[in-house]
Amino acid sequence: MDKVFLIFLIVIQLFCVYSYTTINRYNNRECTLNPGLVEEIASYRNIAKRIMYEILNNTMGESMYNEYTYFIDKFGARPSGTHVLEKAIDHMFNLTIRHGLKTVSTEDVQVPHWTRGYETAMMIRPRIKPITILGLGPTVNTSNEGITAEVIVIRSFEELNKIDENIIKGKIVVFDAHYSSYGETVAYRVNGASKASEKGAVASLIRSVTPFSLYTPHTGSQRYGENVTKIPTAAITHEDADLMRRFQDQGLSIVLNISMFSTFDLKISRNTLVDLVGREDPNKLVIVSGHIDSWDVGQGAMDDGGGMFISWYVPVVLNKLKLKPRRTLRAILWTSEEPGLVGAIAYLKKHKHELSDINFIMESDEGTFKPLGLDVAGSDNARCIVAEVLKLFTPIDKMKVSKSVGSDITIFNNEGIPGASLLNQNDRYFWYHHSNADTMDVQNKENVVECAAFWAALSYIISDLSIDIPRI
């Protein structure tokens, strides 16, 4: 993986952040659609009801959920570049064929493979206390003896910039940035090590990026800036961050010993493509997607096992219902999203000449809790059409408007391709995100099946409309 490509991954990831704001129904008064199109969209009401009924009220939805549960329990965490991820990809490939859909393929992708080794931290002063840490990938290692140094607790980058370098030099910086939103607070995870290193710190720790903690550290990716000394970096719990903050406020000296070891190399993984070939315009695509990899903690049930599974299910269930849309409906199970959208970027590069054929792109990577509607990126005309389609799904008809949506599909939105991500009642999503708490216990069968039903019916309508979703 060349240096320019790595920098591109980093830049994309910085823009790939989630924002959660008030969700309202789209103001259709701003839309003027052709009456014929409005009538056409309304004509899909019965087919939408049928698809959702078959999934919600027959055995289809329950069978899908059981397969999803089996997948998560069997494979657990699926980090980029690991053997278990490749076995999980094989499983989804073979499961597609067993469901009677043979138009499934994979495409090789070179991916980063960071393996967490041992990680320990111990408070030595003002008292002896173990500190739970989770390294941020791909952190560098400490020496075999570890790092023993005094701690300085800092609230923000602004505060860091005001402190003289001589005060920071040789210390472990603990960023005690309290959660405001993921989009704002994640900057401390991504950039904290580099900012601290620029001031002479020997290691950095961050308060985990989450609004809630039961002594649960949350991992994630970070980046080292250009021309900075790479220092070890990890996440700690809210509880330990608060403790160190109190000690510092009391004027007490805090000393930690940190030992960290991990390995990094490159491996070959695969994106998985499942096509329900269109009956009239097979070269035109509507893409529905989720990522199959996860972090190495928890099971990746919520991030993004649920989103991946309901997206995979779309062409599978429509094929079972003998519903073939005008355009080809392609489910993509992205590989290696967590290290920086690696699978999606590889697909974009490989299929650059086909981007004009992508009519609409969708992704579920923000949870599969109770479905609410869509977060939509695209032109005003595109939003108006999607808003009209959403009327068929009341009360799952809320719509949020963004410049780009999702994670992997952000790079496609930046190419002018309209798209949407699943809105759901995920106010607790970041309680579990990138932590050992991301297990099947987070999920609710009824909600996941509702998401699957909505996702399948919506995908069918978008891919079957007589007009393309406009880019302008």
Give the residue numbers marked as catalytic: 337
- Per DSSP, what are the bridge partners of residue 134? 235
Cα torsion at 237, 134, 86, 224 (round to 10°)? 110
Go through 303-323 and write b for each residue having 16 or more CB atoms within 10 A of its CB, e for each that does not. Answer: bbbbbbbbbbbbbbbbbebeb
Is the separation of the CB atoms in 235 and 133 below 8 Å?
yes
Convert 189-241 into a string of H (helix), E (strand) and C (coil).
HHHHHHHHHHCCCCEEEEECCCCCCCCCCCCCECCCCCCCCCCCEEEECHHHH
Q: What is d(CA 51, CA 314) in angstroms, rounded to the nearest whole number? A: 10
Give the whole-angstrom CA distance, residue 271 versus residue 294.
14
Q: Which neighbouring-strand residues pair with 114? A: 264
The CA distances from residue 333 to 16, 198, 298, in Å, are 18, 38, 20
From residue 249, give the alpha-carbon distance in Å to each of 152, 153, 240: 11, 9, 14
* Cβ-count burial 3-30 (b if 16+ within 10 Å, e if not): eeeeebbbebbeebbbebeeeeebeeee
3-state secondary structure of 419: strand
* Amino acid (one-letter) located at 319: N
CB atoms within 10 A of CB 161: 11
Distance CA 251, CA 228 (A): 31
Residue 344, judged by CB atoms within 10 A of its CB (0-12, 13-18, 19+), counts as: buried
Q: Could you say which DSSP state residue 395 is in? A: T
Identity of residue 385: I
